[in-house]
Amino acid sequence: MSGKMRGTILIVALVFAAGAARADGDAARGEKRFEECATCHTLERGLNNVGPSLYGVVGRKAGEIADFRYSPAMKRSGITWTAQTLDMFIADPQKEVPGNRMPFAGMPNAGDRADLIAYLMKASK
């Protein structure tokens, strides 16, 4: 097997493992993680706070809630929120969408993000 092929297989395996980690998050632990988010966000449909409601966030396009004033950067981002895009954004919001208004430094721990995303998926159904 060539080195290039081994590298490709390794990358695919790492991407698959990262996806599995998000899918295996613990929603109960994620509820605790959401306490940080609840300072600015709600999970109630149609109820925005300093940040937009995260009710039904998975599958929604970024900047889509009509009665929330998003940053121009978020509106232009073209993101559709999935477990993967949420994971990348929550890890480092300013890296993923430079110029967004969310004053959050990020959540570097992949397990914590997986738990939070599991909770968001469960709580916003």
**Number of structural domains the chain divides into:** 1
Range of the domain at 102: 3-123
- Quick check: pTM over 0.85? no
pLDDT digit string, tens, across residues 95-122: 999 999 999 999 999 999 999 999 999 9
Backbone φ, ψ for residue 17 (5° rounding) = -65, -40
What's the CATH code of the domain at 7? 1.10.760.10
Q: Which residue has the higher pLDDT, 93 or 23?
A: 93
Instruction: Dump pLDDT digits (tens) for 73-101.
Output: 999 999 999 999 999 999 999 999 999 99
Q: What are phi and psi of 47, to 5 degrees?
A: -115, 100
